[in-house]
Structure 1
């Protein structure tokens, strides 16, 4: 089951200048819990935003650059279909961004784990709109603003309608 995992604001903002525009420690923990042990598919810019590859995950990087070297234990491909093929042995590969990769991966996705950050932000990368005719919301969990989180957010889980 191909799953998209993302954190996006109410205006679908994902980030600016190849970085997130918020810091949500509980969301990072959830991301780690859900993706550990799985293949993670991402664009080159998302990969380059990490200080180093994330532990215990198979990294598949999609880039148009023909000679891109991501280092050892990383697979580099030139399109989303090849990325998904490289992840086919995983029961739940995750598409982790950025905006363009989410858009390319959405037609192949069966589940979306979305953290909806309550606010609007200036951004240069955006999450694609979720078509309510195609997706069913199956769970929702609100997390209020607190001393560790400057914004309230809601964990939303969608599955593709049959």
Structure 2
């Protein structure tokens, strides 16, 4: 299984504010859908509850929560990162989609990181992506100087691979 993380971050690694993402960039939302469709996505309870229409279609949705007897329509509910990994062990590729605590828990296990780097520093950010740059990632793709016409925000796509791991043959 390839464990990938996908996230949009601002210049300070900010990812959320008041239970929502920092910006809605149309092309980034399309990219997220293209990359994750047909795969399993793992998220925390708060991320699941922030989805406007509930479980994302055409993906296996897995929600991690410590809440006893939590029900998530259209999703499988687990209590831990270990349980989530075990549940998805036969999947080819699994995407971790947030939030902050879930990213932190999975960061050292991730094989790939799909970043959308927003070239802006948002005010009032209350959720951050963990520090990742010192962990040994190799850049495999970069697309810079994109502008969202609706918001005027500039951003880059950066794909990274962990080079500290050994792939089993």
Same fold (TM over 0.5): yes
- Pairing of 1:88-107 with structure 2 (within 5 A): 88-107=89-108
Do the aligned partners of 1:59 and 1:74 also contact (CA within 8 Å) in 2? Answer: yes
**Deviates further, 82-91 or 9-18:** 82-91
Q: C-alpha displacement at 1:139, in angstroms?
A: 1.2
Q: 1:56 aligns to what?
A: 58
Q: For the structure 1 residues 161 and 128, does the alpha-carbon distance in structure 2 shift closer, same or farther, using more than 3 Å as the test?
A: same
Deviations 1:95-136 (A, max 9, x none): 000011000011111000010011111311100111345111
How large is the RMSD of aligned CA atoms in angstroms?
Answer: 1.2
Do the aligned partners of 2:27 and 2:148 also contact (CA within 8 Å) in 1? Answer: no
Choose the corresponding residue for 2:156, options 150, 154, 157. Answer: 154
Compute the TM-score of the two structures, normalised by the length of structure 2.
0.91
Deviations 1:49-91 (A, max 9, x none): 01221110111000010210112x3111111111111112211
Compute the TM-score of the two structures, normalised by the length of structure 1.
0.94
Q: 2:111 aligns to what?
A: 110
**Runs of at least 5 residues in structure 2 that lack an aligned partner in the other structure:** 165-169
**Runs of at least 5 residues in structure 1 that lack an aligned partner in the other structure:** none
Q: 1:39 aligns to what?
A: 40
* Alignment length (residue pairs): 161
